[in-house]
Amino acid sequence: MSDPEQIRTALTEARRYLGELPAPPNEANTCDWVIRPLLVALGYANHEIHAQASDVSNRFPDYTVLPDTDHTWYLEAKTWKAALESQHVDQSMNYAHSNGRRWVVLTNGQEWRLYDDRIQGKSADRLVATARLDDEPGMTRFLEALSRDSIVTARVDSYASERRVREYLVNAIADASSPVIEAVLKAIRVNLSNVPVTAEAVVSILNAAQSGPVFEPIPDLKPGIPQRIDRELVFSCKAKDADARGLFNGEGITVLPGSRIRRYPVASMKKRHERETAKYLSAGKIIDREHHFEVVQEIPFRSPSAASNFVWGSASNGWRRWVGADGRPLKDYHLKKGKGPL
């Protein structure tokens, strides 16, 4: 099983070759100094990483990972300073295609690319994710998706799907002629009559939203003095391995996208938590991040406690667990629907 701390340590060591230490001078050193240590940190045993092993077509991938199993994948390495070019992509995809395997990684140690042979089209069309060693958060997520646990349990599929959808949407909302912008524009005209809007304006609005907050921040309140709030407010709920934001509407909480949900509940909540997470995974409202779940679509709950139970994976009092920007619990606020303080 991969260890997050071990991954972080191996990634920190690999990043030293970006400037602190002399760069690997050749492909063999790139493999020995950077690539193989990262593979070991991802939970693979030495005997599960075969270097230069012959495949069915008598080709020799740089690494065959989990050989002779249902989960075999390939890694093609290039020298540290080499640009990853189209012929390298074709070479890499040939390993997967010839051997009936799905996943291939192409890397020079600095840039890492993940390809999926199940995608139709040219080799370049099968790219599902790219990460760079100098982008620690992105590289960490990329590596976690390639961990032994993720490959064996097929969690890598969710990562690949998310990256493809994200790439599509990022490009789509920047193109005024895309089907996505056309659909948004149509919805606006149906639901917001007499509002003049162009496709270009929609593009500007959507792209501006990517760089700023979607919701207004909670207003500053005088300490200890509850005030009536006549609009929805965002509260936070944090615990070990959990960090959620929720929109309070006067009765319940809607957990917002980007929230992290605890993966491992207490024993008494195990069945209920597993049932809930399975439901939301199936509906595409959350995705599996190996050590936690991430909310990608809003999830409404009828009460603050139901929402905090889901976030924490344990029984909790949501009126106390959800807190405002000033650190005061939800119970200190007036309800929206004209009720007095709790």
Average pLDDT in the chain: 84
Is the per-residue pLDDT at 212 higher than 70? Answer: no
- Predicted confidence band at 342 (pLDDT cuts at 50, 70, 90)? very low
Q: What is the mean pLDDT of residues 269-288?
A: 89
Distance CA 61, CA 207 (A): 41
Distance CA 48, CA 55 (A): 15
Asked if residues 281 and 275 have their Cβ atoms less than 8 Å apart, the reply is no
Phi-psi region of 216 (alpha: psi -120 to 50; beta: other; left: phi over 0): beta
Model confidence over 112-137: pLDDT tens digits?
Answer: 999 999 998 888 889 999 999 988 88
Q: Locate the domains of the chain by residue range.
A: 4-157, 179-209, 233-332
Is the per-residue pLDDT at 164 higher than 70? Answer: yes
Model confidence over 188-209: pLDDT tens digits?
Answer: 888 887 778 888 888 878 776 5
Distance CA 252, CA 267 (A): 26
Of 42-56, 196-210, 246-260, 271-285, the poorest mean pLDDT is in: 196-210
Q: What percent of the chain is predicted at pLDDT more than 90?
A: 46
Distance CA 109, CA 27 (A): 9
Looking at the structure, give the CATH architecture of the domain made up of residues 4-157: Alpha-Beta Complex (3.90)
Strand 103-107 relative to strand 73-77, pairing: parallel
Q: Check residue 341 and give its pLDDT.
A: 38
Model confidence over 238-259: pLDDT tens digits?
Answer: 887 789 999 888 778 999 998 9
